[in-house]
Amino acid sequence: MLRIYKTTPPKEYILWYNNRIPKPSMWDHLNSSDKKVLEEGDFDYSKNRLRNYLHKEQSGICSYCNKRIKNDHSSKIEHFLPKGIYINETFNYYNLILSCDGNAERESDKKYHCDKLKEDNEIRINPTKQKYLNEIIYDEFGNIFSEHVECIRAITILGLECKSLINRRKTIINGIVFDLNGNYYESEYYRKQFIKTIYKPLEFNLQIQIVLLNLLNSNDRLICLGVLGLTNAYKKFIQLIKITAKFKYYNYKMKQ
């Protein structure tokens, strides 16, 4: 997961909530689209406008799988703390994130993920918080790993290890990691690619960065971490690299 930095709530959303009588208590109280005719003194807002705001805030990336999402009905306003359980958090803007529909409207042979699979399940890996996010790692073949129990649980509940997501990550990451002959590049090339990811939002941006860090030599890795201001996290990334190497070796042996 890529961390989402929440901004201030839309002013119109706050005005709608504070001025609606009776006070909104159910998600359906927020209309899907704007009213065509407004009465005097009416404070109007809609799920469509909220979706548009969240889409910009997240740079068009799903909060869970980090896949590119459209600003339309295929993107779902997700309650991180399920609204069916945490009723008081239903309209809390900081509990609202945008997710892909998790293949809900795609071919039936694809496994669901993200919003469609999570539903009212609770996870502790909050994409708006940094806690635990560094415990999730990826390799250049689209696989997702973790040794942390909460991360493993979140990966399972969200279906982040499903075949469709693995294949999509693999396709995008392979295009950066391997040359036309399927060979690895030199560390200098990966360093330049890493720097590009800092200034240009990409689908699976974090996943790409983690893979590139794993492929850099020590000097280039320090340079990239320094650019990110993460020099103090160097030991943490070394630990993750070792975890990745272990999983790669395990997968390699399983295929023999």
Q: Measured between alpha carbons, how far is 4 from 11 in angstroms, rounded to an integer? A: 20
Which tokens sit at 217?
């030599």
Are the C-beta atoms of 116 and 75 separated by less than 8 Å?
A: no
Please state the rounded mean pLDDT for residues 186-198. Answer: 93
| Confidence at 256, pLDDT banded by 50, 70, 90 | very low
Which tokens sit at 143?
């696989």
- Give the residue, 248 or 5, on which the prediction is more confident: 5
Please name the residues in contact with 67: beta carbons below 8 A apart, sequence gap of 6 or more: 61, 100, 165, 168, 203, 204
pLDDT at 46 over 50: yes
Residue range 59-100, pLDDT digits in tens: 999 999 999 999 998 899 999 999 999 999 999 999 999 999
User: What pLDDT, on the 0 to 100 scale, is given for residue 236?
Assistant: 54
Percent over 90 (pLDDT), the chain: 58
Please name the residues in contact with 18: beta carbons below 8 A apart, sequence gap of 6 or more: none
User: What pLDDT, on the 0 to 100 scale, is given for residue 252?
Assistant: 42
* Closest to 139 measured CA to CA, from 247, 217, 222: 247
Angle between helices 205-215 and 218-228 (to 10 degrees): 150
Residue range 112-141, pLDDT digits in tens: 899 888 989 999 999 999 888 888 889 999
User: Cα Rg for the chain, rounded, in angstroms?
Assistant: 20
User: What pLDDT, on the 0 to 100 scale, is given for residue 240?
Assistant: 57
| Confidence at 41, pLDDT banded by 50, 70, 90 | low
| Confidence at 40, pLDDT banded by 50, 70, 90 | low
Q: What are phi and psi of 151, to 5 degrees?
A: -70, -40
Are the C-beta atoms of 197 and 209 separated by less than 8 Å?
A: yes
- Whole-structure pTM value: 0.84
* pLDDT averaged over every residue in the chain: 85
Ranges of each domain in the chain = 1-107, 132-256
HSE, side-chain direction, 13 A CA sphere, residue 180:
0
pLDDT at 150 over 70: yes
Please state the rounded mean pLDDT for residues 197-201. Answer: 79
pLDDT at 255 over 50: no
